Amino acid sequence: MNLFENTQSNLLLVLAAAGLLALPACGGPAFDGSNDPFNGNDGGNNNTGDDDDDDDVNTLQTALTGVVRDATGQPIAGATVEAAGMTGTTNSDGRFFIADMTPTERVSVNVSKSGFAKNSTPIEILDEIENMVLITLAEVDYENSFDAADGHTFEIEIGGPTVALPAGGFVDASGNAYTGTINVEATFYDLESDWSDIEAGNEINATPGDFTAIDANGEFQRLESFGMFQVNLSDADGNELNLASESPAPVVLPLQSLTADAYNVGDEIPMWNYDEVEGRWIEETVGLVIDVDGVLSVEFDAPHFSTWNCDQPLPTHGCVTGSINTADGQDRSGATVRAVGITYISTTTARTDQNGDFCLEVKNGEQVWLEISYSVGGQMATTRTQPVTIPSGQGTCTQGGGTNCVDIGEVNMEIMTCLSGIVVTSQGQPIANAIVAATSGGQAETDAQGFFCITTPVFFNNTVSVVEGELGQQQGFIPVQIYAQPGMPECQSGCPNVVVMRPYSGVACASGELWFGNEPGANQVIEVFDQAFPDTRIFATVVEQTGDFCVPVPTGVDVTVQSSAGANGFCDAVDVTSAQSGQVSGGTCDGTGQSGECFDVGVLDCAGPGGGGGQ
């Protein structure tokens, strides 16, 4: 079972009560680009995640694009992305786009965001292609401030590394002695959690680099990690600080391993520091394996700080090959393919050639999964494979297209994903023929079991709602917001994005009048919006000839009741709090007015048919 099938299985437990587990084919129109996820109100030519006419992603260009997420797969907005002196900022979907990149064999994509450890991912910038990279950030585990003269000893997290910062042993970026307040942020990377459970938050993809390294002899190596942490020091203005050369910091790092008995007390392990300029790990010192209350750990003196890694070079390796195609069989050159260890801790990254082929060298005798991604016209495609078992024999990518490699064959990919679910009554009974819509532009009709499937762009924040028919006769379903994870667009092999659409638990009513000066607002539409979902209409009704109206409102939430007339979409509105609607819970509109007590919103006053009132 792959990651998405596992995620769906967990979500479908919610649906099991209805005894309905089969997913239908997608219905409704596909996303046609008219609601481009890169479009924004302030795109400008500023290389942000938002796009406009100046950043034409629909023409061939050399660009860098991608998505920044946390370890649980959720988007990170407002992250700063830097590569080769070019910068961008992620939008609300975690996306970024940097145009006019210069083709480069290897460039570091550096990402930072307050509250998260920094990450740096190397990538080759290919000419006339949208070079895509998926970047994960790990949350900061420890924050504190101290006086440089006092030093500071701390544990990054409970049971995590301990770091002893020396008193008076700090310098600024120019190497000058520093005195004053120091801010410290530290992260201990979780490299052991279940890779198949995205909510577990495995942080292997949040680690800097691609596990390529230069050892103490200047030789190229590919590493397997046994523990990693990051420490960042800064002054009150955010300027970077570090340890003085004569003041190393003792560190005790608990070992992490997916292999039993990998180390014994007394063993020595190379310690590697990540070089953000080179984009590789550099062997700098040696650590000693010790026992700390029954936990195997490595102790060493850190001569400076950024990210430290306890690793061993892979003595031998195998390889995995394959070919990436579009759904219509076109070769996909320039796709990024990353192999992530399942039974060992490491990653390997490659790009597909002009034929869509790739080859990755990985640890032999182990299991990996592959993450594949590419971008075309500003639209992103990504998928994860099922586990791939690498035999114990050696294999290499250095000869031709790969020798003695495991070949996974062709992988067909789409730039779209699926969004599926079920529409049910308040008693959990399925509702057939309901129309469900997503803000990405897709919609579908539920089948006899209440199921639906919508095609949507991947990595897009969707608000899903039930579109109801006759005004004044709606049931009022709670909208659901979901960030679209990769999957097949027509729910083949399951769908990772599953929602349950339910009515609000309680309904009341609001009554009032709509006037345009001295004229009643006859036949105008009154709408109700849940303030948590301000762009999704929940209820609506038509104003009577007398100007009177009665409209249902959900209880338990704050809502806005507004007239839909006016150049800006409404001409007057009134907010109704959950406390106010709760006072008249159970009140209903009977089609000609109200039945039972409703909350009186008073008079909505519009200057004329063109609008003119306001909140």
Q: What is the pLDDT of residues 367-397, one digit of tens each?
A: 999 999 988 777 788 888 889 999 998 888 9
DSSP E strands, 235-315: 240-243, 249-254, 268-275, 280-292, 295-302, 307-313
Domain residues for 467?
416-501
- Regarding beta strands 80-83 and 86-89, do their DSSP bridges make them parallel or antiparallel, or are they unpaired? antiparallel
Residues 260 and 195 in one domain: yes
Domain boundary residue among 257, 292, 313?
Answer: 313
The answer to whether residue 525 sits within a structural domain is yes
Give dist(CA 63, CA 107) in Å, integer: 13
- Regarding beta strands 142-147 and 280-292, do their DSSP bridges make them parallel or antiparallel, or are they unpaired? unpaired
Residue 349, amino acid: T
The answer to whether residue 511 sits within a structural domain is yes
CATH number at residue 474: 2.60.40.10
Residues 599 and 484 in one domain: no
Residues 200 and 296 in one domain: yes
Give dist(CA 338, CA 317) in Å, integer: 16
Residues 518 and 397 in one domain: no
The total number of structural domains in the chain stands at 5
Residues 294 and 345 in one domain: no
Domain boundary residue among 379, 413, 447?
Answer: 413
> Does the pTM of the predicted model rise above 0.85?
no
Question: Once rounded to an integer, what is the mean pLDDT over residues 114-124?
Answer: 95
Residues 169 and 300 in one domain: yes
Q: What are the φ and ψ backbone dihedral angles of 380, each rounded to 5 degrees?
A: -105, 145
Residues 84 and 130 in one domain: yes
- CA torsion sign, 529 to 533 to 534 to 535? negative
The answer to whether residue 241 sits within a structural domain is yes
Instruction: For 149-201, write each residue's pLDDT tens digit.
Output: 999 999 999 999 999 999 999 999 999 999 999 999 999 999 998 877 777 78
Residues 184 and 287 in one domain: yes
Instruction: For 14-61, write each residue's pLDDT tens digit.
Output: 333 333 333 333 443 333 333 333 333 333 323 333 333 333 334 568
The answer to whether residue 585 sits within a structural domain is yes
Q: Which of 22-36, 308-322, 362-376, 459-473 has the lowest mean pLDDT?
A: 22-36
The answer to whether residue 100 sits within a structural domain is yes
Residues 448 and 533 in one domain: no
474 vs 11, higher pLDDT: 474
Residues 309 and 327 in one domain: no
CATH number at residue 259: 2.60.220
The answer to whether residue 38 sits within a structural domain is no
Residue 229, amino acid: F
pLDDT given for residue 400 in this prediction: 58
- In this prediction, what percent of the chain has a pLDDT beyond 90? 63
Residues 516 and 494 in one domain: no
Confidence of residue 473 (pLDDT cuts 50, 70, 90): low
Give dist(CA 550, CA 588) in Å, integer: 8
The answer to whether residue 21 sits within a structural domain is no
pLDDT given for residue 316 in this prediction: 87
Domain boundary residue among 413, 443, 459?
Answer: 413
